[in-house]
Amino acid sequence: MKFLVVTNAPLLKAENKFSAYAPYVKEMDIWFRNVDEVGIIAPKSYPQKIFSKDFQNQNIKFFSIPFFQLKGILNFLKSIFILPLIFFKGFRAFLWADHIHLRCPGNIGLIGSVIQIFFPNKPKTVKYAGNWDPHSKQPWSYKLQKWILNNTFLSRNIKVLVYGNWPKQSKNIIRFFTASFSKDAIVESDKDFRKPYKFIFVGSLTAGKRPLFAIRLMEILMRNNIPVTLELYGDGILREEILEYIQVNNLEPFVKMMGNKDLNELIEAYKSAHFLILASISEGWPKAIAEAMFYGCIPISTAVSCIPWMLDEGERGILIDADLESASRKIMNALEDKANLGVMSQRAQEWSASYTLERFESEIQKFL
């Protein structure tokens, strides 16, 4: 089988080795193990530095395209000259492929969603890594991709893998998941929910993840004589602002910036923490939440995207609004019932442990 990937993720080449964004490579290595030949349509460069990893399969047919953006008038005008070339290369790559795999949402994913209309007989899969919630506020390009992929007349012989369980979707749409750990990593967690409570934040330090919201929640808990600590794992444009806030408010003993850590170090953090807090504005599959649950760490999250389904509407995690007063009150109420915290932790772990890398590969083999 000739397996073609259409993606925004740049394919980098150095010393005759192909690499890309590390979490994406980890997943694609699993897909590639189950096909004969691999082709990738992607940009060959990216304007920002990324944490890259080499693909296990280096026998890749690369359909290189320019990187482009649609935001801003200047970028849009530039894209007008680039798009014909991308469509031409896209059609040529689609003719080569036996199976087409689109990575959405994104600009390249949008182009792939249009081109696939002209190949109704070729089998296709789409990994939609964003928020599939039909009622969420999203860019027009995301909404257009979702409309095309959900339309059974325009998109045929296709399986669109989305996060969460959404009503009134077409037969194209299939609920899916992402896995981080093997079944061999499953360990029984028996957390002791005694004070002081350890909270962690895992994610990029950006406005969309609301790391400052997490810190302010800790301040409210401390003002109510609840001993807590918070460790923030990740980096981003808000790093300096957060550091200044911690220093100005004398939070150094209680709030620590840990920076980017590898998965093994994050596992130790999940094991030792009582709660993970992630009050995101939007999510696809929040990997940090699923990983924390795998080790019995109770997630505290806003009810966006598929998170209410992941947390079983609050049975295996704490759903909050992005309001400090109501969120802190909900957390304090939860802390009063330690027996229920233990039950919630166990439910979280049992659910997450059902989504292993072995199950992930087994499901991929069915699609292929």
**Residue 20 belongs to domain with CATH number:** 3.40.50
Predicted pLDDT of residue 38: 98
Question: Are 50 and 176 contained in the same domain?
Answer: yes
Q: How far apart are the first and last CA of the chain?
A: 9
Q: What is the torsion angle, in degrees rounded to the nearest 10, for the CA atoms of residue 352, residue 293, residue 106 and residue 174? A: 20
Are the beta carbons of 76 and 70 closer than 8 angstroms? Answer: yes
Are the beta carbons of 223 and 254 closer than 8 angstroms? Answer: no
Question: Are 161 and 198 contained in the same domain?
Answer: no
Question: Taking the model in full, what pTM does it have?
Answer: 0.90
DSSP alpha helices (H): ranges in 295-356? 307-310, 324-335, 338-352
Question: Are 128 and 212 contained in the same domain?
Answer: no
How far apart (Å, rounded) are the C-alpha atoms in residues 124 and 233? 36
> What is the domain count for the chain?
2
Q: What are phi and psi of 264, to 5 degrees?
A: -60, -40
Question: Are 64 and 171 contained in the same domain?
Answer: yes
pLDDT in tens, the chain (368 residues): 999 999 999 999 988 899 998 889 999 999 999 999 999 999 988 767 777 899 999 999 999 998 877 676 776 777 778 889 999 999 999 999 999 999 999 999 999 999 999 999 999 999 999 999 998 888 888 999 999 999 999 999 999 999 998 999 999 999 999 999 999 999 888 899 999 999 999 999 999 999 999 999 999 999 999 999 999 999 999 999 999 999 999 999 999 999 999 999 999 999 999 999 999 999 999 999 999 999 999 999 999 999 999 999 999 999 999 999 999 999 999 999 999 999 999 999 999 999 999 999 999 999 99
Q: What is the largest CA-CA distance in the chain?
A: 65
In sequence order, the 6+-apart residues with CB closer than 8 A to the CB of 230 are: 199, 200, 201, 214, 215, 218, 254, 255, 256, 277
Predicted pLDDT of residue 216: 98
Question: Are 207 and 175 contained in the same domain?
Answer: no
Question: Are 263 and 123 contained in the same domain?
Answer: no
Question: Are 211 and 272 contained in the same domain?
Answer: yes
In sequence order, the 6+-apart residues with CB closer than 8 A to the CB of 232 are: 200, 201, 205, 211, 214, 215, 242, 255, 256, 257, 258
Question: Are 145 and 241 contained in the same domain?
Answer: no
**Spatial CA neighbour of 7 closest among 43, 32, 37:** 43
247-261 burial, b for 16+ CB within 10 Å, e for fewer? eeeebeebbebbeee
DSSP alpha helices (H): ranges in 68-139? 73-96, 107-115
Question: Are 109 and 193 contained in the same domain?
Answer: no
Predicted pLDDT of residue 67: 80
For residue 229, list its beta bridge partners.
198
How many beta carbons lie within 10 A of that of residue 164, not counting itself? 19
How far apart (Å, rounded) are the C-alpha atoms in residues 299 and 307? 10
Predicted pLDDT of residue 250: 96
Range of the domain at 143: 2-181+358-367
Question: Are 67 and 103 contained in the same domain?
Answer: yes
Question: Are 160 and 218 contained in the same domain?
Answer: no
Q: In what order do the strands lie in the sheet with 318-320?
A: 255-259, 228-233, 197-202, 275-278, 298-302, 318-320
**Spatial CA neighbour of 122 closest among 4, 24, 204, 43:** 4
How far apart (Å, rounded) are the C-alpha atoms in residues 254 and 26? 34
Predicted pLDDT of residue 81: 83
Helix (H, G, I), strand (E, B) or coil at 52: strand
Question: Are 93 and 225 contained in the same domain?
Answer: no
E strands present in the chain: 2-6, 12-14, 17-21, 37-43, 52-54, 60-65, 99-104, 124-128, 158-163, 173-176, 197-202, 228-233, 255-259, 275-278, 298-302, 318-320
How far apart (Å, rounded) are the C-alpha atoms in residues 44 and 33? 23
